[in-house]
Structure 1
């Protein structure tokens, strides 16, 4: 595996985490009180993963991708039900990017990517209430695009 391929996969995961952090800001503003702790926990987890990826990119000699000022959401989020759907969508998309990082890496980086994939899949199940057969893979076939689209 080339260092360039590993760096590209890390940058893609970093971009996905930036988008997830932004998306959970929206979720947190719309989610009902009963699920607010879940949204806060997921937000914190994505911030921690983002920060870890910044360090990984720097360790490989790269310049970490910056977050966009804003991201286009996949659908309007006017209420708590839509916020729950958005949270599940964010997790599905992050899982897809981490499945790419698993394929592009080895050793400790691969273990970390697999753990991030597992965590995203578990959060998606919690949000959605049901699971998919291969988290991170089925979603990639349906949506081969980036996690979210920067709008600025």
Structure 2
């Protein structure tokens, strides 16, 4: 895999993350669940910044960024705040995996940026009420470590 193809994969994931965060935001009440609504909004903004940064990285290496799909699959169980929170945590777990893969496939500025984003996703995952991971973004290492 080339660094550009790894960035394209990450961009595809960010397009999907933005779509899903839009769905999560639509299922969250700013008045009934203001903290959750603020968290979903903050995550949406972070993923939008990621998407934009990946587009820039790709253009910098002479690649045309992949466009977003028309629609993506929405998670199930969004009828409650707990369901929305769980879906948001799952999304950050997946995002950590995508960023870990990008760290593994790139160098220099892209790798530093991806490592920082991996830390953000892992931290956000915990902030959403999930247990911390010894190896965020690398479930295969978690299994090997017996966690």
Q: Place the TM-score, normalised by the shorter chain, in its bin.
A: 0.7 to 0.9
Contact 1:117 1:136 in 2 (8 A): yes
**Which residue is equivalent to 1:150?**
none
Tell whether the 8 Å contact from 2:77 to 2:84 is kept in structure 1 after alignment: no
- State the shift of 1:61 in Å: 1.3
User: What is the Cα-based RMSD across aligned positions, in Å?
Assistant: 1.9
Q: How does 1:33-72 map to 2 (within 5 A)?
A: 33-72=34-73
**CA–CA distance in structure 2, aligned partners of residues 70 and 76 of structure 1:** 18
Alignment partners' CA distance in 2, 1:60 and 1:121: 28
In the alignment, does 2:101 pair up with 1:100?
Answer: yes
Q: Which residue of 2 aligns with 1:16?
A: 13
Separation in structure 2 between the aligned mates of residue 27 and residue 140 of structure 1, nearest angstrom: 30
Q: Name the SS for the 1:72 alignment partner.
A: coil
Stretches of structure 2 that go unaligned for 5 or more consecutive residues are none
In structure 2, what is the equivalent of residue 87 of structure 1?
Answer: 88
- The alignment covers a number of residue pairs equal to 139
Moved over 4 A (4+): 139-142
Q: TM-score, normalised by structure 2?
A: 0.87
Residues 97-125 of structure 1: per-residue CA shift (max 9 Å, x gap): 11111011111111001001001111111
Aligned to 2:4: 7
- Do the aligned residues in 2 keep the contact of 1:93 with 1:139 (CA within 8 Å)? no
Alpha carbons of structure 1 residues 141 and 128: separation in structure 2 relative to 1, 3 Å: same
1:50-77 deviation per Cα after TM superposition (whole angstroms, max 9, x unaligned)? 0010111111111111111211134332
